[in-house]
Structure 1
C-alpha cells in the first residue's frame, strides 16, 4: 500500500512540474544584452519550448542558425556596431572628466540612441508590411513575447499581435526600468549615471534630480518621435512607449537587493540577479596548469568586456608594466598588440572562461569594467573587484560594490601605472574587500529558489494564464494629476477656501449687523 502511494505521489508531482512546450516569440537586443537573453533561451529550450528569435541581418552576436531557435531575419542597411565603435573610441581617449567632455559624450550617446530607435522602428514596419513574414508569425500562434525593452520594437510588435509580454530587463528605452514602474523618490533612489548612492546630502539630491531630467528628455526627444509614425499607422488610441512598458505582464529584473539599493517595487517584478551564474567547471588543462603554478600568491584576472578588445597602446604598456612587478600570475584578455613591457607572469588570451576562473580558489582579484554579468559573477563567486568603468551603467554597478566595501573604482581618466599599482595592492592586501564580497556572495546564494528557476516559472506562468493582468498596477491608466492626487488636493483646497471665505462672510455680516443695531439704539 505504501508503495502504491509513493508511485501515485511521484506521478502526481511529475504532472505538476511538467509543462507542455509552448511557442515563444523572442525580440532581443544585440551585444551583451543577447548574452543574458541566450542564457534564458537555453533553459526554455531544455524544457521543451519552441523559440523564434527576431534578429537583424547584420547582427553582431545573434546567429541566424541555431539549435535553440528558428530565426526571423530583418534586413538592416546600417549597423549599430559602427556608431558604437566611434563612441567607444572617444571614451578610450581619456580626455579627462571635465564638464565639456561629459557633455560631448552624453550628446553623442543620445544621438546614437536616437539613431538606433529610428532603425528599429523601420524594422518593425518591415516585419508587419512583409505579408509572408507576418503570416508566418500569425500561423505560429505564439503564446508569449519575450523581449528586452532597451529597444522598443518588441513592445510594439507584441501589442500589434496582442501577445502577453515578459520583459528581460534592467534597462529600458530611457534608463533603469524601476523608474517607470514603481514609485521612485529621488531623495534616496540614485538615478543611474549620477554616480550617487542612496545616502545623499542636499547638493547631491539636486544633482540626482537634474540627472533624472536626462532620462525624461531622452524619452521625449530621442525615443518617442522614432515611433510616432508606427503608432499613427498601425494602432488606434493614444499611447506611448512608457505605457507599453507599464502594460507588460512580468518584469524579469536582472538584479537583486544584495546588489541593488532597497527601494519600492511592484508585484509583477521578479528579481533574477545572477541567474546566469553557475558553479565553476574545471579549466582547460593548460590554463589549470598556469593557475596552479602561481602557488600561494594566487592569480589576478583582467578583462574589460566583450566590446573592448584592447586598451590604447600606451596605456596597455603601463598596465603590463605593473603586472610584471607583481608576485601573482595574471590572465589578461587583450586582443591588441602585445605590450612591450609584458612580464613572464602574464598570460594574454583572446578569450577566457570568466565564470570558471572566478570560481577557482586561486583567483585573488578581478580587474573588470563593471558590466552587469561580470559584477554578478564576482558576487556569486566572492571575488573582490578593481573596477575600471568605461561607459553606460558600469560606474553605477561598481559604485554599488564599492559602497559595500567589496570593490575599488579607478576611473579611466586617472589610470596610469602608479594609480593602477596602488589600486591592485589596496584590494589585494586589505582583507575587508574579500570579506565583504564573500558576505555578499553568501547573501546572494541564500535563496529559496534559484534565480533561473524563478525566471522560467514566471515565463510559463504567463503562458498558462495567458497573461498576468492581476499583478499590474492601475497607475499607468491614470492621468498624471490623478496619480499625484493633485485633483483631490485642488478639491480640498477649494473646499477649505470656500469654508474660510464663508466663515469670514458670516462674521462680517454679523459684525455689520451689530454695528447697525448699535447705531439704531444710539439714535
Structure 2
C-alpha cells in the first residue's frame, strides 16, 4: 500500500514539474523551406506539451495536437502584386544571375525584399486581424520569431505586453545577429554567406568580405529599419509603440540553423545556440513505388532536388535536355528527380532509369542505403540532411548562402561544385561519376556524419531545452551583451586605438618641433657662391 502511494505521489510530482507554456510563434518568411524548419520546431514544442499559436505565411501540413495555425493568407500572392506594381517581375533565375554578377547589389537585396515582404504579409487581413482580435489581457508566456527577413511581425507583441522573446533562423548563422543581441562579427576569417571564400582568406578576400559585411550593415541601418517602421506603422495602430529596433533588442536567445561540424568556426555569445539539422526526422519507410525504383538501380540511385525556391522548369530546355541526356548516359544508376511540373512538359522523354515526381520524401531517400549521391542546389537544409546521412553531393548553387555552403562542402571533400551557366552533358556526367566512384567523397561524408550526429541531445531537443530555459529563467544574465550599450566603436576598442594613434601623432609632432627648435639652425650649412 505504501509503495502504491509513493508511486502516485511520484507521478503527480513529475506532472507538476512540467510547464505547459502558451507560445506565440511568428513565422513571416515567404519561403516554403523556412516553413519546413520552423514547423519542425513548432511541432516539437507542441509535442512537448506546449500550446503553440503559429502565425504563418504557409498552410499547415496535417493537424498536430497543441499546434494552432493562423495563416497569413495570400501573402505570396500579395508580394507578387506589390512587385508587379513596382515594375519588378521577380524571377528566381534572374535574381540568381544578378546575385552571381554583383555581390554588392546582392548585399542590399535582403533589405528591399524584407520591406516588400512585410507589406505583403500585413496586407493579409485575415491572419493579422485574427491575432489582433485576441483579448488585451491574453497571456503568452514566450514569443518565438523568425528574424531571417526582419522583425516585421514582432511589433504585434506590443499588444501582449512583451513576453520573453526568442529569435530563430533557418538561414545558418546570419551576419546581422548583432543588431538583435549585440556581439561582434568576424569578417577577417568568417566568409559572408554571399561569397564562396574559404579561410584563411587573402588580403583582397578579407577586404572584399569586409566590404560586403559593411554594405549589408549600412543597408539594414539606413534602408531596412526605416522601411519597416513606415510599413508597420501604416498597418498597426498601437499607442506608444517603440521602434522595431528597440523591440528586437529585447530578444533573449537566438537559435541558429548551423553546426560547427559542417560550417566555418565562429565565436558565439552564450545566448547564441546552434541547432543545425533540427528539421531532420527519423527515416520512414519509402512509398512502395519509390522504394522499388531506388533499390533497382544496378550500382545505386542518385537523388536530384533543387529545393523549394528553385523550380526545375525554370532552368530552360537546354539545361533540362542536358540533365536528361546525362542521366541516360549512366544506365547503371537510377535517377530520381524532384521536378515540379508534369513529366510531359520536359523537352525530351526521360529514359527508363529516371523517375520524376513533384514531391519526394527527401529525408527518407537520403537515409536509404542504395542512395549513392545527391544533386542539390546546396541549400542549408538539403546540405545538412545529406551530410547527416553521409551522402556526397554535386552542388549547383543559385543564390545567397548556397555559394558558401557548397564551397565548404568542397573544402571538406564531400562534394563538387558546378555552375548552372556552364552545365553540359560532359561536365555533369564527369561530376556525378567523380562523387560516386571516387570513394573518398563517401568516406569523408560519413566522417562528417559521425561528427554532426555526435551530440548529447538531438538538435530539436536542444532547441526545446533552451526555449524552456528562457521560460524557467526569464532574467538570466546571459541575455544582455554589453556591446548593445557600448556601440560599435567602443565594443571593438576602436576609440582606444584612435586615442593611441592621436597620442602617438602628438608625441611625434612634439619631438619633431623640439628637435627643429634645438638643432634646426645648426644643421643649416652655408653654401659658398662665386
TM-score range, shorter chain: 0.7 to 0.9
How far the C-alpha of 1:72 sits from its partner, in A, is 3.9
Separation in 2, partners of 1:479, 1:96: 31
1:348-367 → structure 2 map (5 Å cutoff): 348-367=356-375
Decide which of 146, 149, 169 is 2:147's aligned counterpart.
149
Separation in 2, partners of 1:493, 1:325: 66
Deviates more, 1:174-183 or 1:206-215: 174-183
Q: Which residue of 1 aligns with 2:286?
A: 283
Deviates more, 1:373-382 or 1:102-111: 102-111
How far the C-alpha of 1:175 sits from its partner, in A, is 5.0
Deviates more, 1:458-467 or 1:64-73: 64-73
Q: Is 1:384–1:433's contact at 8 Å kept on the other side of the alignment? A: yes
Q: Which residue of 2 aligns with 1:479?
A: 487
Alignment pair present for 1:308 and 2:310: yes
Alignment pair present for 1:333 and 2:338: yes
State how many pairs are aligned.
Answer: 498
Q: Which residue of 1 aligns with 2:525?
A: none
Separation in 2, partners of 1:174, 1:441: 23
Decide which of 244, 255, 274 is 2:258's aligned counterpart.
255
1:266-415 → structure 2 map (5 Å cutoff): 266-295=269-298, 297-310=299-312, 311-326=315-330, 327-336=332-341, 337-415=345-423
Q: Is 1:165–1:467's contact at 8 Å kept on the other side of the alignment? A: no
- Say which SS state the counterpart of residue 54 (structure 2) adopts: strand
Decide which of 423, 427, 431 is 1:423's aligned counterpart.
431
Separation in 2, partners of 1:352, 1:399: 26
Separation in 1, partners of 2:476, 2:352: 58
Q: Which residue of 2 aligns with 1:514?
A: none
1:188-267 → structure 2 map (5 Å cutoff): 188-229=189-230, 230=232, 241=245, 244-267=247-270
Q: Is 1:149–1:172's contact at 8 Å kept on the other side of the alignment? A: no
Q: Kindly tell me: are residues 431 and 10 of structure 1, through their superposed partners in 2, closer, same or farther at Cα, counting changes over 3 Å?
A: farther
How far the C-alpha of 1:357 sits from its partner, in A, is 0.6
Q: Deviations over 1:28-80 (max 9, x none)?
A: 0242211101001111111111111223xxx4445798755334455767523
Separation in 1, partners of 2:11, 2:384: 37
Q: Is 1:382–1:440's contact at 8 Å kept on the other side of the alignment? A: yes
Separation in 1, partners of 2:13, 2:455: 22
Separation in 1, partners of 2:136, 2:242: 25
Q: Is 1:53–1:69's contact at 8 Å kept on the other side of the alignment? A: yes
Q: Kindly tell me: are residues 223 and 503 of structure 1, through their superposed partners in 2, closer, same or farther at Cα, counting changes over 3 Å?
A: closer
1:431-442 → structure 2 map (5 Å cutoff): 431-442=439-450
Q: Kindly tell me: are residues 97 and 480 of structure 1, through their superposed partners in 2, closer, same or farther at Cα, counting changes over 3 Å?
A: closer
Separation in 1, partners of 2:374, 2:398: 16
1:15-54 → structure 2 map (5 Å cutoff): 19-28=18-27, 29-31=29-31, 32-54=33-55
Q: Is 1:165–1:250's contact at 8 Å kept on the other side of the alignment? A: yes
Separation in 1, partners of 2:424, 2:225: 42
1:40-119 → structure 2 map (5 Å cutoff): 40-55=41-56, 59-62=57-60, 67-73=65-71, 79-80=78-79, 83=83, 86-91=90-95, 98=101, 111-119=112-120
Separation in 1, partners of 2:388, 2:67: 29
Q: Kindly tell me: are residues 385 and 30 of structure 1, through their superposed partners in 2, closer, same or farther at Cα, counting changes over 3 Å?
A: same
- Say which SS state the counterpart of residue 340 (structure 1) adopts: coil
Deviates more, 1:372-381 or 1:306-315: 306-315
Separation in 2, partners of 1:325, 1:172: 36
Separation in 2, partners of 1:96, 1:30: 19
Q: Structure 1-normalised TM-score?
A: 0.83
- Say which SS state the counterpart of residue 146 (structure 1) adopts: strand
Deviates more, 1:346-355 or 1:75-84: 75-84
- Say which SS state the counterpart of residue 438 (structure 1) adopts: helix
Return 5+ residue gaps in structure 1 as ranges: 512-523
Separation in 2, partners of 1:237, 1:134: 15
How far the C-alpha of 1:118 sits from its partner, in A, is 4.0
Q: Is 2:187–2:210's contact at 8 Å kept on the other side of the alignment? A: yes
Separation in 1, partners of 2:336, 2:283: 17
Return 5+ residue gaps in structure 2 as ranges: 519-530
Q: Kindly tell me: are residues 331 and 495 of structure 1, through their superposed partners in 2, closer, same or farther at Cα, counting changes over 3 Å?
A: closer
Separation in 1, partners of 2:506, 2:158: 47
- Say which SS state the counterpart of residue 134 (structure 2) adopts: helix
Q: Is 1:333–1:349's contact at 8 Å kept on the other side of the alignment? A: yes
Q: Which residue of 2 aligns with 1:521?
A: none
Separation in 2, partners of 1:423, 1:501: 63
Q: Is 1:174–1:215's contact at 8 Å kept on the other side of the alignment? A: no
How far the C-alpha of 1:499 sits from its partner, in A, is 8.1
Q: Kindly tell me: are residues 68 and 487 of structure 1, through their superposed partners in 2, closer, same or farther at Cα, counting changes over 3 Å?
A: same
C-alpha RMSD over aligned residues: 4.0
Deviates more, 1:63-72 or 1:394-403: 63-72
Q: Structure 2-normalised TM-score?
A: 0.82
